[in-house]
Amino acid sequence: MRRLACAGLAVLAAIVMVLALPARPARAHPLGNFSVNQAVRLDLYPDRIAVTAIVDLAELPTLQARSAVDTDGDGRVSAAESVAYNTQVCRAMARAVALRVDGHRVQWSVRPAGFGYRPGSAGLRTSQASCALGAAAHLTSPARLDLVDSYQADRVGWREITAAGHGVHLVHPPVPARSVSHSLRSYPADLLGSPLDQRSARLRAEPGNGPGAGAAIQLNRGDPVSRWVAAADRKLEGLVGGRLTPLVGVLGVVLALMLGAAHAALPGHGKTVMAAYIAGRSGRPRDAFTVGAIVTLTHTGGVLVLGLLLTATTSLAGEVVLGWLGIASGVLVAAVGAAMLAGVLRRRARVHGYYRPPAHDHDHDHDHRHSHGHSHHHHGHPHPHPSGRPRRLSLAGMGIAGGLVPSPSALIVLLGAIGLGRTAFGVLLVVAYGAGMAATLTAAGLLLVRVRDRWASHPRRALARLAALAPAGTAALVLCVGLGLAGRAALGVLH
């Protein structure tokens, strides 16, 4: 109980400080002159639960509440009137803020924690009332908490809920631990912002001293390459919106090429696996170019189709479509990997059956190396291939998988161009973007082919053997990466 009192005092002190801050220049309530705004902060301790609720009334509700505050009607708000009104608000708040711990509704102790006015617009005032609600609780074992705030539910306004654990761990809390509005003191103000409208939260609490931090928002990705790419993205988007001179056009195309190349090089798209595929599977330089061309075509087509779809209908959410395409791409990669693996195993079985009597280990090794050297010298192919059709199919599959998921930045550039009535320029940029991607992939493929060839013809046996193992290894790798990509995309879609 004493701790509760201490916490209450601390809250009170904080509120007094808030209200004692120098008055800002008077301006309209950022959320509208009719709004009733609320912030409910939940603090969970092993033995108790504390709620700090703040109600921020804009100009007109403040005026409407005046007769409830100034009860003696003398035109002034005395300290006693202020406390009485604060208590009244907090009692209503305690009735309206329902917290259930494992289904049992918590009975709040109510403490008014401050009431004050601030200058608003048109010579009117806004007002803030704060309340500290508290209750004993046993959060020493896992518990489910359901919070519903129905205070003045029919009024327009900002409503936020935050939750933090102290000696209590919150498992994946759906609400943040810190207020984005700094407890209704500064509302994020931009033309693209809508007020927050969080009226309920379901929390899982566990004993333990987890950070209890809620969904953290990560804005900047760390490494310099990503940052450079992001900056270049913005530059390109800016170019699309600016005046279109020939120089700007050329610059845009060059930038799109570079961006495409950079995006293909960034990890996480599973595109690099294709380069490995080319190397492990067949390794003709021509194949690298084929895959590159298919990637460009697929990517350009995909971006165009999706871009037009997204422009045509606002009911389509871009992220969801990207997620499903991600799944499709992963499944395609996995299928190619599985086909490769099956091919390798089949071939190996054939090789075994034909050349090698079961007991002689030595022969196998020899045969294998021999076949390698043989084909390499005569055809420039490291491996004999199964029939050409499935190989070409899987090459195409790889290319399609690589280009299927449109790069968000290419999509944005296209949408921007469409929005500005410069569709042709946007299409050109997207083509350049795909070409850039293809360039990176082809280059990586060629590089690996080179490296592998060198290894295969290496005088030292170990490296040559490693190269010999490449087909099975790559097939397995492609399969795993495909499954991983599909799984990750599925998690994103189903979440």
Partner 1 sequence: MRHRILIVGLAVILVAGVSAVFGLRHGTSPNASAAQAPGTRARAGQAPDGQLSEGIARAQQHLRAVPGDYVTWAALGSAYIERARVTADPAYYPKAGGALRHSLKLRPTGNPAALTGLGALANARHKFATARHLAHRALRADPYSADAYGVLADALTQLGNAPAATEAVQHMLDLRPGLAAYARASYDLEQHGRLGAAAALMRRALGDAVDPADIAFCRYQLGELAWRAGRLDAAATQYAAGQAADPGYLPLLAGQGRVAAARGQTRTALAGYAELTARYPSPGYLMEYANLLRATGHPARAGQQLALAAAALRLFRANGGTDDLGAAQLALAQGDVRPAVRAAEREWSRRHFADVADTLGWALHRSGANGKAISYARKADALGARNPGYLFHLGMIELSLGRSSDARHHLRAALALNRHFSPLDAPAAVAALDRLGA
Residues that bind partner 1 (CB under 8 A): 28-35, 58-60, 63-64, 67, 121-124, 154-156, 191-194, 237, 240-241, 304, 308, 311-314, 318, 408, 412, 415-416, 418-421, 423-424, 427
Q: Is 322 within 8 Å of 486 (Cβ atoms)?
A: no
Strand ordering across the sheet containing 143-149: 104-105, 97-101, 143-149, 200-207, 168-170
- Pick between residue 31 and residue 262 the one whose CB is nearest to partner 1: 31
Give first-to-last CA distance, the chain, whole Å: 41
**Which pairing describes strands 159-165 and 36-44: parallel, antiparallel, or unpaired?**
parallel
Cα 194 to Cα 109, 128, 187, 310, distances in angstroms? 33, 21, 10, 22
- Pick between residue 238 and residue 380 the one whose CB is nearest to partner 1: 238
| Shortest Å, Cβ 38 to partner 1 | 15
Please calculate the CA angle 11-17-20 and round it to the nearest 5 degrees. 140
The letter for the amino acid at 322 is L
The size of the chain, in residues, is 495
- Pick between residue 326 and residue 397 the one whose CB is nearest to partner 1: 326
| Shortest Å, Cβ 85 to partner 1 | 16
- In whole angstroms, what is the distance from residue 215 CA to residue 222 CA? 18
Please calculate the CA angle 150-155-157 and round it to the nearest 5 degrees. 95
| Shortest Å, Cβ 415 to partner 1 | 5
- Pick between residue 8 and residue 307 the one whose CB is nearest to partner 1: 307
Q: Is 301 within 8 Å of 294 (Cβ atoms)?
A: no
E-strand ranges in 86-243 read 97-101, 104-105, 109-119, 125-136, 143-149, 159-165, 168-170, 200-207
Closest to 414 (Cα-Cα) out of 401, 428, 400? 428
- In whole angstroms, what is the distance from residue 279 CA to residue 360 CA? 30
| Shortest Å, Cβ 495 to partner 1 | 18
| Shortest Å, Cβ 202 to partner 1 | 22
- Pick between residue 155 and residue 376 the one whose CB is nearest to partner 1: 155
Q: Is 435 within 8 Å of 324 (Cβ atoms)?
A: no
- Pick between residue 29 and residue 169 the one whose CB is nearest to partner 1: 29
Residues paired with residue 90 on neighbouring β-strands, in sequence order? none
- Pick between residue 245 and residue 387 the one whose CB is nearest to partner 1: 245
Q: Is 368 within 8 Å of 260 (Cβ atoms)?
A: no
- Pick between residue 39 and residue 58 the one whose CB is nearest to partner 1: 58
Mapped onto helix, strand or coil, the DSSP state of residue 279 is helix
| Shortest Å, Cβ 264 to partner 1 | 21
| Shortest Å, Cβ 63 to partner 1 | 5
- Give residue for tokens 């090459």: 395
- Pick between residue 391 and residue 422 the one whose CB is nearest to partner 1: 422
| Shortest Å, Cβ 198 to partner 1 | 14
- Pick between residue 14 and residue 427 the one whose CB is nearest to partner 1: 427
| Shortest Å, Cβ 37 to partner 1 | 12
- In whole angstroms, what is the distance from residue 225 CA to residue 229 CA? 6
| Shortest Å, Cβ 12 to partner 1 | 30
- Pick between residue 73 and residue 353 the one whose CB is nearest to partner 1: 73
- What count of other Cβ atoms lies within 10 Å of the Cβ of residue 459? 6
| Shortest Å, Cβ 67 to partner 1 | 6
Residue 40: CA count within 13 A, CB half-sphere? 27
| Shortest Å, Cβ 222 to partner 1 | 22
The letter for the amino acid at 154 is D
- In whole angstroms, what is the distance from residue 262 CA to residue 433 CA? 10
- Pick between residue 305 and residue 393 the one whose CB is nearest to partner 1: 305
